[in-house]
Amino acid sequence: MPLEHLLATVGHIAATTVTEEAPSIDGQGQWPEHSIRALQHAGLGGLVVTPEFGGHGQGLFALSRACELLGEVSASAALCYGMHCVGTAVIGSKATPRQQQEFLRPIAAGEHLTTLALSEPGTGAHFYFPQTQLLALSEDEYLVNGSKSFVTNGGRADSYVLSTVGVDPEAARDGFSCLVVPNNTAGLEWGPEWKGIGMRGNSSRSLLLKDVPVPAQYLLGEHGDQLWYIFQVVAPYFLTAMAGTYLGIAQAAFNEARQYLVERAYRHSGATLSQNGLLQHRLGMMWSNIERTRQLLYHATRLGDAGDPGAVLPILSAKAEMGHCCVEVVNEAMTLMGGSSYGQSSRLEVLLRDSRAAHVMAPTTDILYTWLGRALLGQPLLEE
């Protein structure tokens, strides 16, 4: 299916199911069940799965645009869908024939939801240094022990992409490795839902893994491949999906502010705020902020989809810049909209809370700029 049709379908679902569900997603912190099921039902679960396995074979640009459209209505729904697609991309990049059948085909058929469980309480923003232990019991089986934090779609997904560190005495089996673990695996213990001030419907939960037996067939790629996955797949897909989500938040705030300036009329003068020169200027600056950051994101995702090695810096930069853009635009909209935006449960209140995740979700804004600086200086990115 051509990309325009796919995006038109996402736009339709955003305007209908997601719009209907958005108040309860934020208001009651409900996981966006109807929105995710509608996306899966429309075949969008397999957005980034190759056509060979029934998917649409799309990449970074399509995912970031889909998250942008969803994020304009519900950032939580965009986050949950985005994390499914990032997890899918991780599974799909080196899937064995068995993993293709067990995960990719059901994902493309809308029957399987996956997600990433990388972050840990012990290493926080440095999610690429997991401490969850992977012990090879035999050629066919591992034992996994550790804990994960902030797992989006936690308890809702059908499988979880985990990062681990090998504790095998054989050096060849050492290093950081990724696994995909089905939700019905024995020994997965979920913590209570974490209550964020924003992104309230993402079902973010902690996961304790106590002597979890995992068949060797669920290893993704080779032993020690985790950093390959992080930089080749997780970073580009995650950063652009999240940048798309924050772009959606910024656009929504801009739309609210613009509408307010048009509609707000004073009785003493009969003028609307849209006639005020200073506010016209500030609206123009908001638009410019969004547009230049949008173009950076689109440029970065297109380079990434083309396999251009020069895509790395624009992709890192796009998520960091989008974090600033989103927070600035939402703050500016709050100022332009006066007391009405400051009211509890206003649309701006939701956008303000959601936008604040932009800087703290790893790779965080500060760490991204540090990686950029190191890359520009020819230094290894992960040095402390």
Ligand X SMILES: Cc1cc2nc3c(=O)[nH]c(=O)nc-3n(C[C@H](O)[C@H](O)[C@H](O)COP(=O)(O)OP(=O)(O)OC[C@H]3O[C@@H](n4cnc5c(N)ncnc54)[C@H](O)[C@@H]3O)c2cc1C
Contact residues: ligand X, CB under 6 A: 83, 115-119, 124-125, 127, 150-152, 196, 199, 202, 204, 357, 360-362, 364, 366-367, 370
Strand-pair partners of 147 = 208
Nearer residue to ligand X within complex by CB, 25 or 117 = 117
DSSP-derived secondary structure letter, 72: T
Smallest separation, CB 17 to ligand X (Å): 22
Nearer residue to ligand X within complex by CB, 247 or 357 = 357
List the one residue out of 314, 298, 319 whose CA is nearest residue 365. Answer: 319
Contacts of 325 (CB under 8 A, 6+ apart): 246, 247, 250, 289, 290, 293
**Residue number, nearest CB to ligand X:** 124
Residues in the chain: 384
d(CA 314, CA 146): 34
Nearer residue to ligand X within complex by CB, 283 or 357 = 357
CA angle 225, 163, 182 (to 5 degrees): 110
List the one residue out of 307, 320, 309 whose CA is nearest residue 362. Answer: 320
Nearer residue to ligand X within complex by CB, 118 or 283 = 118
Smallest separation, CB 363 to ligand X (Å): 8
Smallest separation, CB 207 to ligand X (Å): 10
Smallest separation, CB 274 to ligand X (Å): 35
d(CA 128, CA 226): 8
Smallest separation, CB 328 to ligand X (Å): 17
Nearer residue to ligand X within complex by CB, 239 or 286 = 239
d(CA 352, CA 253): 9
Nearer residue to ligand X within complex by CB, 40 or 245 = 245
Smallest separation, CB 124 to ligand X (Å): 2
The secondary structure element, H or E, covering residue 84 is helix 75-93
Smallest separation, CB 173 to ligand X (Å): 23
Tell me which residue has tokens 């649409």. 56
Nearer residue to ligand X within complex by CB, 278 or 377 = 377
Tokens linked to 348: 């701006």
Reduced 3-state DSSP string for 169-185: CCHHHCCEEEEEEECCC
